[in-house]
Amino acid sequence: MGSDERNLTTGSLICDKYKICEPIGKGGFGICYAGEDLTTGEKVAIKLDSKTGNSKSSVLHEITIYRDYLKPINSCIPAIYWYGSQTQLGNVIVMQLLGPNLEKLFQLCDKKFSQKTIQMIAFQMIEIMKTIHSMGLIHRDIKPENFLLGSGIHSKRLFIIDFGLSKPYKDNQTGQHIDFNTTARMTGTLRYCSINANKGHEQSRRDDMESLAYIMAYLHLGSLPWQGIKVRQTISRQKAVQEIKETTPMKHLFKNASNVFVDFLFECKHLDFKEEPNYEIWRTRFGQLIDEFDYKYDWDRFGHNFD
C-alpha cells in the first residue's frame, strides 16, 4: 500500500465497531494496524490486505485456518474478534493486540540474551509447537518475528502469530498424514527453514521443530553462519544457504551452550517425515536447565512496560 492508501485506511471502521489507527507492521500479506474497539475502548490489532476474492491472499488463507482449526484455542494464539472482507479494505482479521516480538526484544538487548532467557524461550516455543501440531497444523514460517509477548496479565508469556503459510499435515476426518514429496516449492523464511524445506521437500512437524532449533542458535550466537551471503539469484542463494546448513557442525551453532540444544537439533533433523516429535521430553530437558522459571527476562532490565 502507498501512503495515500494508508491515509484512506487510517480512521476507517470495521463492522462499525473497530477503528483502524496507525500501522504497526508490514509483510507480504499487507499491513497490520493498531486499532480500537469503540464499544469497550480495548486496543486491538487489525490485519488486512487489498486482495478481496483473491485465493492467493495470505490473509484470506489465514482466515480459513482460524475458522477451521484455531477458533477453540486461546493459550498461545491471539484471540480473534472478527474476520471477513470489507469493501475497499479487502480481507480483514481483527485480533488481540500483543506485545513486541522476539526479534525486537533481541535488538533491544543488543542481540545478547543470557542462557536463562534463551532456555525459557526454548521451553515455551516447544510448548507452542505441541499446541499447534495437536490441531493438525504445521506453521511453516517459524521465525523470531512470529513469536510475540502477550499483553496485560499475559505480558510474560510467548504467543505465536501469522498462519498465512500454515497447512494441515493430516486429514481432519480420517487422521491420515499427508504424503512426502520432493516437488514442493520452498515455503517459509530462508534463514530459519529446515534443510528439507530449503530443498523444496514437503514439510511436516519435524520442519517446524528444526526451525525452532535455528532460532535458538540465532539467539545464542547473535547471527547464523548462512546470514549475509552475497548471491544475486534466489535459487543460487537458496542452494548456498542449504549447503552451509548441511556442513556447519551442530556444536558450532551452540558453542559454550548446554548439549541439550545440540541434542534437540540432532533429533529434529533425524525425525521421520510422519513421526511425532517428543515434545514432553524436550520440555523436560530444557526445563531442567532453568534454576528458577520465573519469567524474568533480559529485556526486563530496561524497564519497558509492554502492556
Q: What are the residue numbers of the active site? A: 141
Q: Which residue has the cell 504445521?
A: 138
CB 45 within 8 A of CB 94: yes
Residue/partner pairs of 245-254 with CB below 8 Å, 24 or more apart: 245/195, 245/198, 246/195, 252/225, 253/213, 253/214, 253/217, 253/220, 253/221, 253/224, 253/225, 254/216, 254/217, 254/220
> What gap in Å lies between CA 105 and CA 51, rounded to an integer?
32
Closest CA to 24 of 42, 44, 5: 44
**Full 3-state SS string of 230-252:** CCCCHHHHHHHHHHHHHHCCHHH
Residue by residue, DSSP assigns 25-37 as EEETTEEEEEEEE
Count the alpha carbons within 13 Å of 284 in the hemisphere toward its beta carbon.
4
| Amino acid, res. 40 | T
